[in-house]
Every structure is written in C-alpha cells, then in structure tokens.
Homo-oligomer: A and B are copies of this chain.
Amino acid sequence: MKLVECVPNYSEGRRKEVVEEIVKAIESVDGVKVIDWSMDADHNRSVVTCIAPPEKAVEAMLRGAEVAVKHIDLRHHQGEHPRLGAVDVVPFVPLMGVSMKDCVELAYEFGQKLWETLKVPVYFYAEAAKEPHKYRLPDIRKGEFEGLAEKMKDPKWHPDVGEPQPHPSAGATVTGARQFLIAYNVYLNTSDVKIAKKIAKAVRESSGGLKNVQAKGVFIEERGLAQVTMNILNFKKTPIPKVFELVKREALRYGVLPVESEIIGLVPLDALVGVFKYYLQAHGFKREQILDEMVYRTLLSSEEDDTK
C-alpha cells in the first residue's frame, strides 16, 4: 500500500461552514481520507490532515483549493498567523511506500495544475524548492499577502509557476515536500519567560543548537508557566529524546526543570519507537515487534485478500 500525507493550510479559521466544505471536497476523491482538521480563530487559519494514495493526492488538493479560492478573500482577511494566500501552504509528506522524490513530483504536479485551473501563482519550498533561498517557508512568506504584489516584481521572488502577479483575492500558494513535522513543547517549572527564551536559543538550529529544530520561548497564560515551543523538522535525524534532554540540560543551568512536555497534533509511530529504543537502550528493537502493528497489518492484508 502506498500513502502520502497532505497537510494543507487555509486562511480561514472563523467560518466553520467554509472549512467543512473544503474538507468535504477533499474527501470527495475516492480513497482520500481526512484524519484530522482544526481551525483557529485568532490565527484565522485552518489545518487539514489527510491521507491519500499518491495518484489521488493532487486531485484532492485541487478540489480543496477550488473551494478555498471561491470563498476566501485575502483583501478582507485578518489573523495573527503570517499568510500569503487563501490556500496558503500545501505540503506533501511521504507516509508508506512513497519516497521524498515522489512527494516532490506531486508538489510540482499540484503547482502546475493549480496555476492552470485557478490562476493562482505558486512557489515551491522545502524539498521541492528550485532555488536555495526558497527552501524556508518563513522567507517566502515574508511581507505576507499585503506585500506580495511588490515582492513578486523582484526576479528573485518571481513565482515558480505562473505570472509574477498575485491572484487578486487568493494571493499565492506555497507547495512542496517535507518530512513529517513534529510540534513539540516543553513546560518549565518557572513563570520566567526569559529562561525559556534562553533555552530556546540554545536548542534551535538558527542560533547554534540542534539541526532541524526551531524553537522559541513563550509564556503560557493558562498554566502560568514558561514554555519552550518547538518544531522538529526531521525527527529521524534529530529525535525527540535528543531535543528533550538538551532542553532539560539547559534548563538545569538556571535551576529549572521540565514539568511536562506535549505533542501538538500527531506524531509518527517511528518516533515512539525511537523514544523506546533511546531510553530503554533497546538498540535492536524493531517496529515489527509491536503487537498492534502486526494485528493491523494482518487485518489489512486479509481485507485485501477478501476483495481480490
């Protein structure tokens, strides 16, 4: 079985009926399933997580985009989260039996068709980036929708597909391929956000910390605690335990300890396997030793037998 994950982000976090229509459009493609979706009113943004056979993924993303472009007008859009377009970001993530290269190809196909059908100009980012300065999403998104028309005039920021002029209401779309991203936070036993900021600085790649880690220090009002909030961009190369242990070590410099850590959204099973191997020193442990995994595989293969 081959599967990719698509995690499209749309610039709509307040009108539930619009997001539901997008979800419905995505699921109207046979074999494509939405496993999670959420909307955030402050950010005015929604994130849909779906799984699809690779040959159905592009069609599903196009149907979702069609609904989003119809209903979302960036000229009247406000929200805390930086954004460039109605269909803001569409990453393709390898899940089962699919390579990163396959996902890059899916992004290219989606970008091309999005321009052809809806006239939304497209940037390719992350593993699908055609130029190094377009690798990072924040760099592409800088200036946001409001600054886009001006930014696009610069040949350096011409879109990868389409004319160098934003779609009037839908702006531009960034699509690409990447590893599964883990959103990971560590709460500290202090309310002093300065300490969280110092730890974040020590931990993140951009200031000399761990590769594949983005981090910042924040204060979480409802718990009254400082938090190091992170993205782990490649958990295979930079596993969660390495990140957690470095946060703990840096916290100790200030007499502080982690109170709790949390995963926001989903985490791949392989990351749990990594944690198991790391802390229990179970160097030879294999995913195939997980009872439930073997049960699921058995059930799915017998379902396949039945339908042959």
Q: A259-B281, A262-B285, A272-B272 are in contact. Are A294 and B244 (CB under 8 A)?
A: no
Question: Would A35 and B294 count as touching, CB distance under 8 A?
Answer: yes
- Which chain A residues in 95-111 approach chain B with CB under 8 Å? 95-96
Q: How far is the CA of A134 from the CA of B1 in the complex (A)?
A: 47
Q: How far is the CA of A43 from the CA of B97 in the complex (A)?
A: 39
Whose C-beta in chain B lies nearest to the C-beta of A278? B279
Question: Would A272 and B295 count as touching, CB distance under 8 A?
Answer: no
Q: How many copies of this chain does one complex carry?
A: 2
Question: Would B279 and A267 count as touching, CB distance under 8 A?
Answer: no
Q: Does A117 contact B (CB under 8 A)?
A: no
Q: Report B-chain residues with C-beta under 8 Å of the C-beta of A260.
A: 281-284
Question: Would B261 and A280 count as touching, CB distance under 8 A?
Answer: yes
Distance of A102 from chain B, by nearest CB (Å) = 17
Q: Does A293 contact B (CB under 8 A)?
A: yes
Q: How far is the CA of A241 from the CA of B276 in the complex (A)?
A: 9
Q: How far is the CA of A258 from the CA of B283 in the complex (A)?
A: 12
Q: How far is the CA of A294 from the CA of B268 in the complex (A)?
A: 10
Segment of A142-150, A163-171, A204-212, A297-305 engaged in the interface with chain B: A297-305
- Among A259, A268, A296, chain B packs the most CB atoms within 10 A around the CB of A296
Q: Does A154 contact B (CB under 8 A)?
A: no
Q: A241-B279, A280-B241 are in contact. Are A295 and B263 (CB under 8 A)?
A: no
Q: How far is the CA of A259 from the CA of B284 in the complex (A)?
A: 12
Q: Does A139 contact B (CB under 8 A)?
A: no
Q: Report B-chain residues with C-beta under 8 Å of the C-beta of A279.
A: 241, 244, 275, 278-279
Q: Report B-chain residues with C-beta under 8 Å of the C-beta of A289.
A: 263, 265-267
Q: Does A80 contact B (CB under 8 A)?
A: no
Q: Does A5 contact B (CB under 8 A)?
A: yes
- Among A272, A291, A293, A298, chain B packs the most CB atoms within 10 A around the CB of A291
Q: How far is the CA of A100 from the CA of B266 in the complex (A)?
A: 30
Q: How far is the CA of A298 from the CA of B27 in the complex (A)?
A: 12
Q: Does A92 contact B (CB under 8 A)?
A: no
13 chain-A/chain-B pairs, Cβ below 8 angstroms: A33-B298, A36-B294, A51-B298, A95-B295, A180-B291, A265-B289, A267-B289, A269-B292, A269-B293, A275-B275, A275-B280, A300-B303, A303-B307
Give A contacts to B, CB under 8 Å: 1, 3, 5, 33, 35-36, 51, 95-96, 180, 240-241, 244, 258-263, 265-269, 272-273, 275-276, 278-285, 289-296, 298-300, 302-303, 306-307
The 3 closest A-B pairs by CB, nearest first: A269-B292, A296-B296, A303-B303
Give me 13 other A-B pairs in contact (C-beta within 8 A), A263-B282, A265-B289, A275-B275 excluded: A95-B295, A180-B291, A258-B281, A259-B281, A260-B281, A262-B282, A263-B289, A266-B294, A268-B292, A272-B272, A272-B273, A272-B290, A300-B300
